[in-house]
Amino acid sequence: MAKRVCIIGGGPSGLVAAKTLTHDAPPGAFHVTLFESSPRIGGLWPVSTVDDGLVNPDMRTNQSRHTVSFSDLAWESSAPMFPKAWMVGQYLQRYVAVYGGGWDVRLGRRVVSSEMLGDGRWKILVGDGMPAEEVLFDYLVVASGFFGKERMPSGLGGCGFPVAHSSKVRDIKTLLSDEMGKAKGSGRRIVVVGGQMSGVETATAVAMQISSAANTPGGEGIEDAGSYVVEHLVQKPVWVMPLHFPRNPFVEVDGEKVCHQILICEERALRKKQEKNRAPEFLPVDLVTYNIGWRPEGPVANSSGHITAEAAVITHAFMESYIGSDQSDFGPDLAVVGDNRSEPPRLSFSDQYLEFIRHKKIEVRTGRFREASGDSVSLEDKSGHLVSISGVAAIACATGFDAAPSLEFLPQDVLRTLDFKPTDESFPLALNLHATLSTKIPTLGFVGFYRSPYWGVMEMQARLLAKLWSGDEKAKQALQEDTTMETMMQLRGDPRRAQFPMGDYAYLMESFAGILDIKLQETPDFSGRSGIITPYRYTYATRSPIQHIEVNKSMAEYNAIFAASSKQAKFVPRAVFRGLQGIWTLNRTITSRIPTFPSGKLVGTASLLPRNPTDKPSPASSSTTPGQEGEKEEEAKADMEYLYFEEGEFKTDFGATMTAKRSYVYRYFEERDCIDLWFAKQDYMSADYFFHRVKFIIPEEEAGPGRPWRAASSHLCIEDMYDVSYAFSFSGATLENWSAEYTVKGPQKDYTIRNVYTRPI
């Protein structure tokens, strides 16, 4: 007779638990009922662009869709590499459409309370919207997530400006402007409290909205947008990783490839024979960092949890090598130097945060928030002194969530048995087998109940529960011999606890795989235990026909991405475009070959200012794509856009000087992986007509240490031909400098313009 299983929560963890218990367990083993308090599935993930849930629908994931996925449902090939939140919600809806026929889903039904009976079964009280009902189950799965309630700092009662938790921040103008678009107050400083991942994301999102409003005709509803500054309060430096990482930031030196293996080498080894690859290949960050081939032979050990000083030094060295600097050029509050190198690292993801700091649109302050009063915020700095920030317009609190409300339906005796500690933000419960269940209550399982759950790990937790509750002897033995709970409890209160104590993806996946007898699937490029960890590389050999099709789709794209990265410069335009943001020192040399056109030099600045794309997508009709004569493509809307503005003093060879300024619009299209340039109108903001497409040149052989990425283009402007050549030089993921050389020939023109861009000192 099928065992009855209750699953609480209809987000990713609840859905993968329901699917696994009905599709991957022995036929007829379980009858599953899933309760979701909201009227839709998806949990915190919105399912449409207007869904106002816990997550902003327009927020992009900070891991690629190869990590934000389950093993047996491939993303559609047209999806962005880093999907928006509403796209993740629609992926989950598709997951239910493919696999949801085998379980009952009760939407709009909240589990009010539960009671564990003497025989281990569960009596569940269900309410909301209908008469309450009691239902009896053999097993209970908690999949209600780790984000129970927003955590807000104390000391906000006396402020005279809007305050919001970061999860509620959508359109910043609703905080800053009235219905007429006028500023609500005189303050021009937006304070973001919280220095970890969500703090970086929130500060970046706010700065992006301000930048877009300041650099778009009409101002996007924010009065005097250029006068606003984001004040970001942090407690220690955090590494900021872009969404695309170099595969090979170093090249061979004297025939020996410099190897940078996280956690298995010493910092001094990282600093020997460093020859930076100025033209590295790029991949999504998770398809670089989740490399199981970097780990020593033998069982994969946990590199998270307690971080020793030695391990911290190695990780910091790795981050500096791949990011390309120690971040000291962005100010002392972000520099990971000195004593910070032996402290547990703090990591975050953002493509724009660092350059907003260089451009002084984000100012970082190290200290602890104390209180808000009137139009001011007080913080305690590193020396224990109170510092005041005046002229505050709003506060966004990126201060995390309290997990305890997600467990309100569990009885107090069960919580006591599980050593419930609501103040511990990482381990509120004492659980075995990587936070999956407890030996003391084997009929109660948890899926996704820990900070930053990987989708692959959630799926592994669900598989383990299915094995245990089906009577699998190996799984039962693993539970009895498990020591992970003791390790977890030792980390409570540990000052050297990792930012994400259950953050070692390779360790978690390999640990579960060993219990479940799942072997890492090989690829054409990676054999044995090597390559990048993804959910679809860990599947049962007995998968169904539909699972087989979906796994093969994902694996085919996985293989294609690695091939395109190494052979077609895939993601290089994206990495270059991200690196262009911000302020550059511009040195221009004009060499004329006709007497009527002056030669000379210009020294000035060039700024590439992020804004929301201003192009409008055309109807689905074919037209000649800019820069690709004779080829037909459907026109698309740009995914990213900069307003390029330069200004400087031009001095001719015969001594005349003049002030010169110019604007362009730079656009990036993800589907085509290309950068297009447009001339700007006389307002220096609006795009006018197409200039050229930047076409990257695939090197015929591996680049030497000093050779940059090169690109070229040609453009006929009436009777004048513009031939353009570019060079982009990287240090790790950082674009250090670049150049653009124009050779112009026509009936009355014959000159060369060479532009060299370097970061201001």
740 and 684 share one domain = yes
- Assign residue 132 the CATH number of its domain: 3.50.50.60
Q: Would you say residue 737 has pLDDT above 50?
A: yes
> Are 444 and 590 within one domain?
no
Sequence-distant (6+) residues with CB within 8 A of 481 are none
Q: Which amino acid is at 396?
A: A
Question: Is the pLDDT higher at 213 or at 253?
Answer: 213
Alpha helical stretches, state H, 364-471: 412-417, 455-469
The answer to whether residues 602 and 475 belong to one domain is no
Which of 241, 195, 146 has the alpha carbon at shortest distance from 399? 195
Per-chain mean pLDDT for the chain: 91
Residues 8 and 134 in one domain: yes
Using the 3D structure, point to which of 567, 585, 606 is the last residue of a domain. 567
Give pLDDT, residue 260. 45
Same domain, 11 and 109: yes
For the segment 368-418, what is each residue's pLDDT rounded down to a tens digit? 999 999 999 999 998 999 999 999 999 999 999 998 899 999 999 999 999
What would the DSSP string read from start to end of 375-388? TEEEEE-TTS-EEE
Q: Is residue 259 part of a domain?
A: no
Whether residue 423 is contained in a domain is answered as yes
Single out the residue in 399, 419, 441 at which a domain terminates.
399
Question: Which of these, 721, 726, 717, lies nearest to 744 by C-alpha position?
Answer: 721
The model's pLDDT over 459-492, given as tens digits with 9 standing for 90+, comes to 999 999 999 999 999 999 999 999 999 998 999 9
Number of domains in the chain: 3
Q: Can you give the CATH number for the domain in which 585 is found?
A: 2.40.128.20
pTM for the model: 0.93
Confidence at residue 257, expressed as pLDDT on a 0 to 100 scale = 47
Percent of the chain with pLDDT over 90: 78
Phi, psi of 101 (to 5 degrees): -75, -15
pLDDT at position 174 over 60: yes
* Domain edge (last residue) among 548, 567, 586: 567
Residue 450 pLDDT: 87
Structure tokens at 448: 């996704």
On whether both 601 and 521 belong to a single domain, the answer is no
Average pLDDT over residues 576-593: 97
Do 97 and 159 belong to one domain? no
Considering the domain architecture, whether residues 38 and 51 belong to the same structural domain is answered as yes
CA distances from 235 to 238, 315, 334, 675 (A): 9, 19, 10, 37
My answer on whether 506 and 597 are in the same domain is: no
The backbone region for 757, taken as left when phi is positive above 0, alpha when psi lies in -120 to 50, beta otherwise, is beta
pLDDT at position 414, please? 97
Q: What is the dihedral of CA 448, 453, 459, 463, to 10 degrees?
A: -60
Residues 436 and 559 placed together within one structural domain of the fold: yes
Is residue 339 one of the residues assigned to a domain?
no
Phi, psi angles (nearest 5°) of residue 482: -65, 140
Q: Is 269 a domain residue?
A: no
pLDDT in tens, 83-104: 999 999 999 999 999 999 889 9
Plot region of 517 (φ>0 → left; ψ -120 to 50 → alpha; else → beta): left
Would you place residue 173 in the very low, low, confident or very high pLDDT band (cuts 50, 70, 90)? confident
% of the chain exceeding 70 in pLDDT: 93
Domain, as residue range, for 503: 3-148+402-567
Q: Is 482 within the bounds of a domain?
A: yes
Chain-centroid distance of CA 414 in Å reads: 36
Separation between Cα atoms, residue 222 and residue 226, nearest integer Å: 9
CB 105 within 8 A of CB 79: no
Amino acid at 679: F
Euclidean distance between CA atoms 199 and 210, whole angstroms? 17
Mean pLDDT, rounded, for 214-229: 90
Distance CA 448, CA 464 (A): 13
Q: Does residue 591 sit in the same domain as residue 705?
A: yes
Give the model's pLDDT for residue 1.
87
Q: Is 219 among the domain residues?
A: yes
pLDDT band at residue 617 using 50, 70 and 90 as cut-offs: low
- 255 in any annotated domain: no
77 and 205 co-located in one domain: no
Task: Note whether 198 and 400 are within 8 A (CB).
Answer: yes
Mean pLDDT of 728-744: 97
